[in-house]
Amino acid sequence: MRNSCLTILVFLLLGQIGLAQQNSPLIKANSNKISIKDSDGPITKYWDYLTTMIKPVVYNVSKINKKRQLTFYTDIDSISFEISPGEKYDFKVLLNSKDTCYAQISTIIPSYYKECYNCLITNDTIPFILGKDHYIHIKGKVNDSETLDLIFDTGASCVLLTETGLKKAKINLDGFTENQGTGGFTTEHTSSSNHLQLSALNWKNLPLLFIDYKGSLSSDGVIGFNVFEDKVVEIDYNKSIMIIHSKFPIEKSGYTESKMRHNINGSFIQGTLNNGEKDCTGWFLFDTGGNLTVAVDGDFSTANQLHGTMKKLGSSSTSGTGSNILKSETDLLPKLKIVDFVMSGVPIQLQSSTVNFFDGAGIIGNSVLERFNVIIDYPNATIYLRPNYLFNKAFRKVNTSNLVIVFASTLGLLILGFLIRKRIIKNKGN
């Protein structure tokens, strides 16, 4: 959901400084702003902050299931690590030649537990409601709150509460983040340690982000993929249930397999747009938290000369948490192909800007994805699709006079120890 809630997830956890921290390497800084380069990705353009108040500050980076190099940059120094899944890497930063900041890179996934004695966790079921807004709504609690209405978002790398969720849940807002969205920089609040409950599943010491959507997002919060990155997530729209598997389900008959690209920005799947003249293939964010059909970024639209080649349905604007507004056109795409499945007459948004906001070709939202039962194998970066009862349903006619995408993207959420990259899109037209 993107693109509102954008990729490295950095959160604060309290901890003890042991022998490993005392003997850890030291780098220097004259500014408390830092950036990170993870594997082949670019150096982050957003900033996170060093602090002496938390020991250590834990930077939770992408939980992809492979070894790779990560580099941590200050304004005058850097340190690199060869990182592996499920590990921690301690170091120190001497700030302004006097203050020692204790830091830690972590690739450990916050796995859930159940309140049962000696129980073996194999799979767990979470019921959901597919709303008229095309979101997957599940029930949960934060810090023993009243029941919250939460959206499961495969495009979000964090758990967040909206303004209504903040009123219902008792959380301690003890940090902040600078959020670089489509509208510019804004400052958001964070909470470093919380208890999340979904059905019988529990998470402890979980960081949360708070964003005031001013009523544009009709839920109490968002559950991102980060809480399930060590699991296999099955979404069955026929039965309105999510099944969380500890390992891959044996039964996958009828499903078609596709490799995905998974990183802190979310999971990306290949899609092909056919404008009636040619095929244009690219990697699209697989976004159950975007209730649009397809949004195509400006770079991809321009490179493939898509503007002016299809029936125009109208114009739309994209607004974020800042003051800037981006323009896009809404066209009727003759054919959309995902894996081996073809859909016709799909309304899409073509961004007029040449800026790439989606780290790929764009976004495929839940107005399309809800037409498939889905299995997402996060550890092995694979998605399985099977058409369900919604597959042949005609796409809703776009009301171009009321088409707005609320796009509060976090191309980098800089926190006092809590950096999340996540995006949330709300599209009132599809």
CATH code for position 183: 2.40.70.10
Exposed / middle / buried, residue 25 (Cβ in 10 Å: 0-12, 13-18, 19+): exposed
Domain count, the chain: 1
Q: Is residue 310 part of a domain?
A: no
Q: Do the domain assignments include residue 251?
A: no
The whole-number pLDDT of residue 357 equals 63
Q: Is 206 contained in some domain?
A: yes
What was the pLDDT predicted at 210? 93
CB burial of residue 94 (10 Å; 0-12, 13-18, 19+): middle
- DSSP string across 95-142: ETTTEEEEEEEE------EESSSS---SEEEEE-EE-TTS-EEEEEEE
Q: Is 131 left (phi over 0), alpha (psi -120 to 50) or beta?
A: beta
The answer as to whether 393 is a domain residue is no
Give per-residue pLDDT as tens, 70-121: 999 999 999 999 999 889 999 999 999 999 999 999 888 888 888 776 677 7
> Has residue 1 got a pLDDT over 70?
no
pLDDT tens string 153-163: 999 888 999 99
pLDDT the model gives residue 86: 87
User: Which of 41-55, 67-81, 317-331 is modeled with the greatest confidence?
Assistant: 67-81
Q: Which domain holds residue 134?
A: 114-234
Flag whether pLDDT at 421 surpasses 50.
Answer: no
11-20, 222-231, 310-319, 389-398: segment of lowest average pLDDT: 11-20
Shortest CA distance to 64 belongs to which of 261, 359, 285?
Answer: 261
Neighbours of 237 (CB within 10 A): 19
- At 78 the pLDDT is 96
Q: Is the pLDDT of residue 12 over 50?
A: no
Region 351-378: mean pLDDT is 87
Q: Is residue 344, in this structure, part of any structural domain at all?
A: no
Q: Residue 241 is encoded by which pair of tokens?
A: 């249930």
Please tell me the predicted confidence (pLDDT) of residue 45: 65
349: tokens are 């948004």
Q: Quick check: is 184 in a domain?
A: yes
Residue range 282-320, pLDDT digits in tens: 999 999 998 889 999 888 999 999 999 999 999 876 554
Average pLDDT in the chain: 82
Tell me the average pLDDT across 381-397.
92
Residue 349, φ and ψ in degrees, nearest 5: -105, 125
Between CA 303 and CA 412 the distance in angstroms is 26
Q: Is residue 118 part of a domain?
A: yes
**What pLDDT is recorded for position 71?**
95
Residue 196 lies in a domain: yes
For residue range 185-224, list pLDDT tens digits in order.
667 888 888 999 999 999 998 889 899 888 888 899 999 9
Q: Give 344-364 as a 3 state SS string.
A: EEEEEEEECCCCCCCCCCEEE
Percent of the chain with pLDDT over 90: 53
